[in-house]
Amino acid sequence: MNLQLSHFTAAALFALFASIVFGITQRTGVREQVRYGLYCFVMFVGGVFVAGWVMWFLRR
């Protein structure tokens, strides 16, 4: 099977799975794990947007 994802989908899925693992392994309580997982996800996806805009400005 050949799966072809867009850049953004690949980055978003990457962020989702990495955030789940980071949240579970880096914090102890359930509440802290969820909060840290969400924080990591927002930072990953936010980083994608920032990097995208930086590349857009560099290209101009």
Partner 1 sequence: MAKTSEKVAAPPLTMMSVVAPAAGWLIPGAGHLIQKRWGRGLLLMVSVVTMFVLGLMMQGRIYHPNGGDILDILGFVGDVGAGGLYIVTVVKDWGQGAIAQATADYGTKYLIVAGLLNFISVADAYHIAIGKKP
Q: Which residues bind partner 1 (CB under 8 A)?
A: 1-5, 10, 13-14, 17-18, 20-22, 24-25, 28
Alpha helix (H) ranges present in the chain? 7-26, 30-59
Tokens at 29, concatenated:
């309580």
Of residues 32 and 49, the one with the C-beta less far from partner 1: 32
Radius of gyration of the chain (CA): 14
CB of 57 to partner 1, least distance (A): 23
Residue 41 Cβ, how far from partner 1 at the closest point, in Å?
12
Give, as one character, the DSSP assignment of residue 28.
Answer: S
